[in-house]
A and B are shown apart, each in its own frame.
Chain A
Amino acid sequence: MSSAKAYLKTLLSANNITVPDNRSGFFDTFCDSEHNQNIIEQILQNQKKLMENWQIRNRVQDIQDQNLSIPNGMVGKPYQFVIDRQQLRWSDVAIVDIAGLNEIGLQFDSSTNTISGMPVSSGDHKFIISYKLTQEGGVEAQYEKIASLIVNPDARSLWKNIPSDTHDTYWKEDDITSFGALGDKKIVVASKRGRSHANKGSFRDDGFRWLQHASGWGQVVLADGAGSAEYSRKGSEEACKAAVAYFKNKIDPAAFAEFDGLLAEQHQAADALTLRKINLWVYEKLGAAAFHIFKHLEQCAADMQVPLTQLHTTLIFTLFKKYGFGYAILSFGVGDCPIALIGKDESVTLMNWLDVGEYGGGTRFITMPEVFKSDKFATRFNFKLVDDFKYLVMMTDGIYDPKFEVEANLEKPERWKQFFNDLDGGNPDGTRVVFDAANDNIANELSQWMDFWSPGNHDDRTLAIIY
Chain B
Amino acid sequence: MRKLPVYLLLDTSGSMSGEPIEAVKNGVQVMISSLRQNPQAIETAYISVITFDSVAKQVVPLTDLASFQMVDIKASGTTALGAALNTVSQCIDTEVTKTTMDQRGDWKPLVFIMTDGIPTDSWQTGLTEFKKRKVAFTVACAAGHGADTGVLKQITENVVSLDTAGSQSIAKFFTWVTASIGVTSTKVEDSGKEVVGLNELPPPPAELNIVV
Contact = CB atoms under 8 A, between A and B. Distances in A.
A3 interface: no
Nearest to B185: A456
Contacts of A457: 1
Interface in B61-79: 65-69, 71-72
Interface stretch (B49-57, B141-149, B150-158, B191-199): B191-199
B94 interface: no
A405 B100 CA distance: 11
Contacts of B72: 67
B42 interface: yes
Contacts of B37: 153, 158
A359 B98 CA distance: 10
Contact of A406 (B69, B71, B103, B193): B103
Interface string A67-81: 101011010000000
B2 interface: yes
B191 A456 contact: no
Contact of A456 (B38, B43, B69, B102): B43
Given A405-B104, A408-B102, A456-B1, A196 B43 contact: no
Interface in A391-420: 397, 401, 405-406, 408-409
Given A406-B103, A406-B104, A199 B193 contact: no
Contacts of A228: 191, 193
Q: Which of B37, B67, B72, B189 has the most CB of A within 10 A?
A: B189
Contacts of A456: 1-2, 43-44, 189
Contact of A159 (B33, B39, B101): B39
B191 A227 contact: yes
B191 A408 contact: no
A450 to B, nearest CB: 18
A211 interface: no
A384 B105 CA distance: 34
A124 interface: yes
A21 B189 CA distance: 93
Interface string B1-21: 110000000000000000000
A380 B1 CA distance: 30
Given A150-B69, A152-B66, A360-B193, A406 B39 contact: no
Given A199-B39, A405-B103, A456-B1, A361 B190 contact: no
Contacts of A397: 192
Nearest to A71: B67
Interface of A is mostly: loop
A458 interface: yes
Nearest to A202: B190
Interface string A44-79: 000000000000000000000001010110100000
B42 A155 contact: yes
Interface residues of A, number: 35
Nearest to B29: A124
Nearest to B190: A196
Contact of B42 (A152, A195, A454): A152
Interface residues of B, number: 31
A261 B117 CA distance: 81
A158 B33 contact: no
Interface string A425-467: 0000000000000000000000000000011111100000000
Nearest to B193: A361
Nearest to B40: A196
Given A67-B72, A359-B108, A155 B193 contact: no
B99 interface: yes
A375 interface: no
A405 B65 CA distance: 23
Interface string A368-384: 00000000000000000
A459 B186 CA distance: 12
A152 B108 CA distance: 26
B172 interface: no
B1 A359 contact: no
A184 interface: no
Contacts of B42: 152-153, 155, 158
Interface of B: 1-2, 33, 36-40, 42-44, 65-69, 71-72, 99, 101-104, 108, 186, 189-194
19 contacts: A67-B72, A71-B67, A72-B69, A124-B33, A150-B69, A152-B36, A152-B42, A153-B36, A228-B191, A359-B194, A360-B193, A360-B194, A406-B99, A406-B102, A455-B43, A456-B2, A456-B44, A457-B1, A458-B190
Given A71-B67, A155-B43, A406-B104, 17 more contacts: A67-B71, A67-B72, A72-B67, A74-B66, A150-B33, A152-B36, A152-B42, A155-B42, A158-B38, A159-B39, A196-B190, A227-B191, A228-B191, A361-B191, A397-B192, A406-B101, A406-B103
